[in-house]
Amino acid sequence: MPGFESIVDQEKPVRLLSNIIQKGKIPHALLFTGIEGVGKRKAANIFAMACNCLAATFPNQLFSDQSNDHAEKERPSSPCGVCKSCRKIISGNHPDVISIQPEKAHIRIGQIRDLCRMLVMKPYEARYRMVIISDAHTLNPEAGNAMLKALEEPPDRTVLVLTAHHLHDLLPTIASRCQHIRFNPISHDALTDVLVTKEGVPAQEADLLATLAKGSLTRALSLVASGWIEQREWILRLIGKESLGQSPIDRVTTLLAFSEKLAQEKDRLENALEILKIWFRDLMVYPLSPDRVVNKDLSQTLKQLSEKTKTDDLILAYDAIQLAQKKISGNANPRLTLDVMMMKLTEFNHEKSRRHPI
């Protein structure tokens, strides 16, 4: 972690949080909004460290740090990362840094009631007790109302940090009681730089993965870890090169075997369908705007195939994939759903762009 400098491409949020620390005027509630994977949770943890770092003193400090690890007292804008308090927060073992996350897609009333009971007691050792409520937009109505009471009567020496995707995802009464800090999607260049310099991804692949990540560092790192490039090559080989030029029956056999393989790899299924959807989307986009395709490294292949394929066929394929995604997310049988999708994909090929009787 350890300081704000480790947060990627969030200059304004970092500046606002640093100013809060330097001035020593800690608000009782903060709301961090932004898409998933832009550093909201990391910033909350670093803010907790900075508020409790034993290298810093605050105006009207309520207690003295008997175990200060630093001889010189000052108020830096970023935590030191080495004092006892910082080390506890980094390891996730600080008794006064409380984390609340959704359980089965929601933050429930029981979680907030348990929190309120804890907040009645004084902090064990921290200068400021920190409560980090991740994905606060998942508070169910009862939990939201209980949360509102905690915000209306904030406990002494306690800071609540809520994270959410959008400001309007929260009850207005909750949002209005928090100091709002917005985190923007991370720029394409910043994501590419992280992937190249810190993950060792080749520049061309990093450029592609940064495009797919859509401003989310978490998403970009997940794509690297999942072997997205290698999976794309495997999928496009089966859906394209190996089945093109086959007889209709052989093409059906190939794609149904592909369907069986995908259904067995449930952890990779979501990525696989997204790869397919992006591919057919690129084939539709390329004739109109070649510079806007996602698979830029395969531009030559896209050019050749888009010239041989009717747009109507591509739309049908795209819609079939999108429908499969929707059904699988709704707990439909993956194998049957994929089989239906693959049967629709057999209705044309890139070589002749004509319907095949099945």
In a domain, 194, yes or no: no
Out of 128, 158, 184, a domain closes at 184
Residues 9 and 152 in one domain: yes
Residues 95 and 11 in one domain: yes
Residues 79 and 137 in one domain: yes
Residues 180 and 230 in one domain: no
CA terminus-to-terminus distance, the chain: 57
Residue 182 scores a pLDDT above 50: yes
Domain range for 97: 4-184
- Residue 50 belongs to domain with CATH number: 3.40.50.300
- Per the model's pLDDT, the better-predicted residue between 63 and 295 turns out to be 295
Residues 107 and 32 in one domain: yes
Strands in the chain per DSSP E: 29-33, 97-100, 129-133, 158-164, 179-182
In the structure, what pLDDT confidence band is assigned to residue 72 with cuts at 50, 70 and 90?
A: very low
In a domain, 195, yes or no: no
Residue 54 scores a pLDDT above 60: yes
Residues 171 and 261 in one domain: no
- Residue 256 belongs to domain with CATH number: 1.20.272.10
CB within 8 A of 203, min separation 6: which ones?
Answer: 192, 196
In a domain, 122, yes or no: yes
Q: CA–CA separation, 191 vs 209, rounded Å?
A: 9
Residues 72 and 173 in one domain: yes
For residue 356, give the nearest of 344, 342, 340 by alpha carbon: 344
| Phi–psi pair at 179, nearest 5 degrees | -80, 120
In a domain, 220, yes or no: no
Residue 266 scores a pLDDT above 90: no
Q: Which two tokens mark 240? A: 């394209």
Digit-coded pLDDT (tens) for 204-238 = 999 999 999 999 999 999 999 988 999 898 888 87
The predicted model scores a pTM of: 0.81
Residues 124 and 239 in one domain: no
Angle at 138 between CA 132 and CA 143, to 5 degrees: 80
What is the model's pLDDT at position 248? Answer: 62
What is the model's pLDDT at position 114? Answer: 92
- How many domains, in total, are found in the chain? 2
In the structure, what pLDDT confidence band is assigned to residue 264 with cuts at 50, 70 and 90?
A: confident
In a domain, 202, yes or no: no
Digit-coded pLDDT (tens) for 122-131 = 888 889 999 9
- Per the model's pLDDT, the better-predicted residue between 78 and 37 turns out to be 37
